[in-house]
């Protein structure tokens, strides 16, 4: 068996795979907490969401 990250790494950079993982995880967490746990959307979700484009910028800037 070949690990999924090895397959993805042949097509995308490891940095891009990590950013994609974080975006997917945050999106699922927000949906889970709002829909299933019935929590209101908090400002913390916005700040976490804004950190991801910043991470993308710093990884691919150089």
Please tell me whether the overall predicted TM-score, pTM, comes out greater than 0.85 for this model. no
In this structure, which long-range contacts are made by residues 25-29, counting pairs with CB atoms below 8 Å and at least 24 apart in sequence? 26/52
| Whether pLDDT at 1 is above 50 | no
pLDDT on residue 6: 67
Count how many residues are written for the chain: 62
pLDDT on residue 38: 94
CA distance 27 to 10: 25
pLDDT, the chain, mean: 80
Note the pLDDT tens digit of each residue in 22-52. 888 888 988 998 999 998 988 988 888 888 8
The mean pLDDT value for 4-22 works out to 75
């Amino acid at each position: 068996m070949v690990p999924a990250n090895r397959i993805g790494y042949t097509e995308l950079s490891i940095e891009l795979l990590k950013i994609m993982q974080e975006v997917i995880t945050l999106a699922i967490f927000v949906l889970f907490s709002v829909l299933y746990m019935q929590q209101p959307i908090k400002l913390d979700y916005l700040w976490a969401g804004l950190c991801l484009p910043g991470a993308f910028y710093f990884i691919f800037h150089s």
